[in-house]
Structure 1
Amino acid sequence: MTLFRHFRLLPRLVVAIVLLVMGVQPLAAQQPLTRDTSFTVASALRKARKDNPTITLAQPAFPSTIQAQRNLTYCTVGGRPLQLDIFYPKAKRSRGYPAVLLIHGGGWSSGDRSHHAPMAQQLAAKGYVTVTVEYRLSPEARYPAAVTDLKAAVRWLRTQAGTYPIDTTRIAVWGFSAGGQMSALLGTTNGDAQLEGSACQTSRSSHVQAIIDVDGTLAFIHPESGEGDDSRGLSAATRWFGASKTDQPALWHQAGALNHVTAQTPPILFLNSSVDRMHAGRDDMIKKLDAFGIYHETHVFPKAPHTFPLFNPWFDLTLEHTVAFLAKVFPKRP
């Protein structure tokens, strides 16, 4: 009987000690990265109810007109599979449906793609292929890893037109909070090699044709921005960038969509709460959009908390504005 067969007869603790002496790390010691669970739908609801006691979690029924595929790997980076869930209409359409990539928030360090599954499902029922997407958070990888992950997800969508009814010429990004910041950055950096990344489906385009920014900052270094205040501990943005904005201002500028607006920037919808600092740079960005003649809309929900798209009564309004905007920029084809 071999040495390792004898180990099965020993207590687990003894086996672990022997393996360590031999220089072999037991599988049980190979702990996965600890996940930051500081931002969840439940915690957001408790916080929002302090000022809005009558609000409820938006949990509409799964529409009977759509279908779903979950836990699909869209890219593997360094052995790490990145996954998404896709929702799409059952009805066939020869040209396919426009696609919407939904990006969750959580300060770049927390949150989960499941947060916006209800929105994705309702959008799919309105005639879109929708995807809720995972990306690497700051405890795992610093900026721009999340951005390159999301661009890879857009490229993945373009590889799937034979499997799902996707119109690859019409892809929108919809993001909340940190996800809103990244949706705006994705849309304003179409074709920017610095943020493209080198993993997965690189022969395809990551260009998007519309942006929905739900309470996501447009500029990190800006008079309206509250990001990067490290006076009481490292801020979420500092953790994401891995350096303060005084140490690496160029990096912080690069991540602000305001600094990338050109004549090629796609149409954009701003949906905002009453928390002004969450949409820092928006008005300056609108001026740039106007100068280039780029279509945009802004809708503000007075007295709404930052997490408004997750809750009633704002969920339906968020859905309505999103659908109306997409209908304008992606009109139905004959």
Structure 2
Amino acid sequence: MNIFNSNSSKSCLLISKGFFVIIGLLLVDWVGAQSLSGVTNIRDTSYSTPIAYEKTKKDFPNIKIVLELNSKTVKEKREVNFCKIGKRRLKLNIFSPVIKSKEPRTAVLIIHGGGWRSGSPSQHYPLAQKLAQLGYVCYVPEYRLSTEALFPAAIYDVKSAIRWVRKNAVKHNVASNKIVVLGFSAGGEMAAFMGTTGNMPLFEGANCTTDVTSDVNAVVDIDGTLSFVHPDGGEGDDSKGTSAATYWFGYSKIENPKLWETASPLSFVSAQTPPTLFINSAISRMHAGREDYIKVLNEHNIYSEVHTFEGAPHSFCLFEPWFDPTVKFIDSFLNKTFDN
């Protein structure tokens, strides 16, 4: 049974103010009739920092790639296993301050972009290193891309990473009530999804570290859409080839609009959503649904900020002159949120 098949008479899903009510459903198979054509098990290298640089510098010739730091103030632990699914081991990288702190630090989990299909955690090592210099403990996990598994596998993986961070909070001297999820592009969408679906059984999975909660305490969404079905969005245009989201869902938007709506953070924003920072480029479709999302936050007196780099390209956070201001926005927001 596939509960995301909108033609199934067994599916009874009610949406009310962002809460998903599941009535009389047993989640057995998420794949069902979904197309597996995109599950090639071949790494998609179409999005990387060098490739983004070559495309972006045509319009912004003065940009510079932000390189990894060689800093004695940051210690790193790489290739740490956080979840095992069958024979597949998911790994993350940890960046933390060398200087010890008497108080538990804020944890920041960074999710890379790439259309849920490409990209790499390594693209955000410079950001993790910079934030670690400022006193944060940063975790940069991998997750299964659509070349390997369809939605909601990536959601399960990031939830597992969040739970792993909370499980190891004392060991890493981080505060279990100061866990931040930050993401860029597709990672930004997933970061917002983490913030709106914490501890929601439908999206938890049963793979790893299931004895702790997956809720997060703040969200940083860098140019990630809030809705796959919002009229201002651009996801799902398959006219010139299969779109990234269509590959991820295994259905086009026309074939299964309910699934596309279900995967949207905007469908779940509520009084339980944590404070959220939006950092955006000049490309409006990359933050589709943002104003509707913020409206709900405002109704519940939940703090949010928006910072837009006028004229900036989508991949702005990977390059100077936007990288340093991005870091400052993040640091300022988290200091306000946690009253550091």
Among 182, 200, 206, the residue aligned to 1:192? 200
Q: What amino acid is aligned across from residue 299 of structure 2 in structure 1? A: A
* Structure 2, gaps ≥5 residues long: 1-39
Structure 1 vs Structure 2 CA RMSD: 1.1
Match in the other structure for 1:250: 258
Cα deviation digits, residues 95-145 of structure 1 (max 9, x gap): 310100000000000000000000001101111110111000001000010
Is the contact between residue 62 and residue 121 of structure 1 (CA under 8 Å) also seen in structure 2?
Answer: no
Q: What amino acid is aligned across from residue 211 of structure 1 in structure 2? A: V
1:214-229, aligned counterparts within 5 Å?
A: 214-229=222-237
Cα deviation digits, residues 247-269 of structure 1 (max 9, x gap): 11111111111111111110000
Match in the other structure for 2:99: 91
Match in the other structure for 1:78: 86
Match in the other structure for 2:125: 117
Say if 1:162 and 1:291 are closer, same or farther in 2 by CA, change over 3 A. closer
Cα deviation digits, residues 141-187 of structure 1 (max 9, x gap): 00010011000000111121243121111100110000000000000
Bigger shift: 250-259 or 99-108? Answer: 250-259
Say whether 1:234 aligns with 2:234.
Answer: no
Say whether 1:107 aligns with 2:115.
Answer: yes
Q: Distance in 2 between matches of 1:258 and 1:190?
A: 14
Q: Distance in 2 between matches of 1:203 and 1:230?
A: 40
Q: Distance in 2 between matches of 1:208 and 1:214?
A: 17
Match in the other structure for 1:126: 134
Match in the other structure for 1:172: 180
Is the contact between residue 150 and residue 249 of structure 2 (CA under 8 Å) also seen in structure 1?
Answer: yes
What's the TM-score, normalizing by structure 1? 0.88
Bigger shift: 163-172 or 267-276? Answer: 163-172
Among 256, 275, 286, the residue aligned to 2:294? 286
Is the contact between residue 63 and residue 122 of structure 1 (CA under 8 Å) also seen in structure 2?
Answer: no
Match in the other structure for 1:12: none
Q: Distance in 2 between matches of 1:159 and 1:265?
A: 21
* Structure 1, gaps ≥5 residues long: 1-31
Say whether 1:52 aligns with 2:60.
Answer: yes
What SS does structure 2 have at the residue aligned with 1:182? helix
Is the contact between residue 104 and residue 174 of structure 2 (CA under 8 Å) also seen in structure 1?
Answer: yes
Q: Distance in 1 between matches of 2:69 and 2:79?
A: 20
Match in the other structure for 2:280: 272
Among 139, 149, 156, the residue aligned to 1:141? 149
Moved over 6 A (4+): none
How far does residue 62 in structure 1 lie from its aligned partner after superposition? 3.0
Is the contact between residue 227 and residue 233 of structure 2 (CA under 8 Å) also seen in structure 1?
Answer: yes
What SS does structure 1 have at the residue aligned with 2:324? helix
Say whether 1:309 aligns with 2:324.
Answer: no
How far does residue 78 in structure 1 lie from its aligned partner after superposition? 2.1
How far does residue 196 in structure 1 lie from its aligned partner after superposition? 0.5
How far does residue 235 in structure 1 lie from its aligned partner after superposition? 0.5
Is the contact between residue 92 and residue 142 of structure 2 (CA under 8 Å) also seen in structure 1?
Answer: yes
How far does residue 59 in structure 1 lie from its aligned partner after superposition? 1.8
Say if 1:84 and 1:60 are closer, same or farther in 2 by CA, change over 3 A. closer
Identity of aligned residues (%): 49
Is the contact between residue 68 and residue 125 of structure 2 (CA under 8 Å) also seen in structure 1?
Answer: no
| Greater radius of gyration (CA) | 1
Among 150, 153, 159, the residue aligned to 2:161? 153
Is the contact between residue 82 and residue 92 of structure 2 (CA under 8 Å) also seen in structure 1?
Answer: yes
Greater RCO, 1 or 2 (C-alpha within 8 Å, sep 6+): 2
Match in the other structure for 1:24: none
Match in the other structure for 2:44: 36
What SS does structure 2 have at the residue aligned with 1:163? helix
Q: What amino acid is aligned across from residue 258 of structure 2 in structure 1? A: A
Cα deviation digits, residues 2-56 of structure 1 (max 9, x gap): xxxxxxxxxxxxxxxxxxxxxxxxxxxxxx9310000010000001101101101
Q: What amino acid is aligned across from residue 240 of structure 1 in structure 2? A: W
What's the TM-score, normalizing by structure 2? 0.87
Say whether 1:205 aligns with 2:213.
Answer: yes
How far does residue 60 in structure 1 lie from its aligned partner after superposition? 5.5
Q: Distance in 2 between matches of 1:208 and 1:62?
A: 30
Q: Distance in 2 between matches of 1:175 and 1:288?
A: 21
Counting matched residue pairs gives 301
